[in-house]
Amino acid sequence: MTRCEIIQDQVKIAYGDDDFLGYFFSVEDARVSWAKDATQEMNTVAESVAADGGGSYLSLTTGLGIGKRISAVTMAGYMRRYGVPDPQIEKMFRGQPMAALPKETYRLVRDV
């Protein structure tokens, strides 16, 4: 499994590949997550965005499991919108793992 992250202020974009999930992509925004100092109504809204209140509002996969299952073409469209480097997207179309880009381009969280 490879998981990469792009951090943009309070937005965390995670993407990668997994034998079970196929290629995956998710977007989490801390501004819409549950917070200890928020009102009950704000936290209820956060839980309506993501059941766990974590602020994840987009979860996509080309395989089975977590998130909405979509085609690689649609996945590429969302990856481009959120700034995933083109060489990573090209690896998806070639069926290759996404781990081999320079560290400056993205933050590698886990490569198992």
- Enumerate the domain spans of the chain: 2-96
The end-to-end CA distance of the chain, in Å, is 5
**Percent helix, strand and coil across the chain, each to the nearest 5:** 30, 30, 40
- Judged against a pLDDT cut of 50, whether residue 59 lies above it is answered with yes
Task: Supply the pLDDT for residue 101.
Answer: 55
User: Can you tell me the mean pLDDT for 68-87?
Assistant: 95
Give me the amino acid identity at 44.
T
For all residues of the chain together, what is the average pLDDT?
A: 87
Give me the amino acid identity at 64.
L
Task: Supply the pLDDT for residue 47.
Answer: 93
Q: For the CA atoms of 64, 70, 73, 75, what is the dihedral angle to 10 degrees?
A: -80
CA atoms of 53 and 33, how far apart (whole Å)? 5
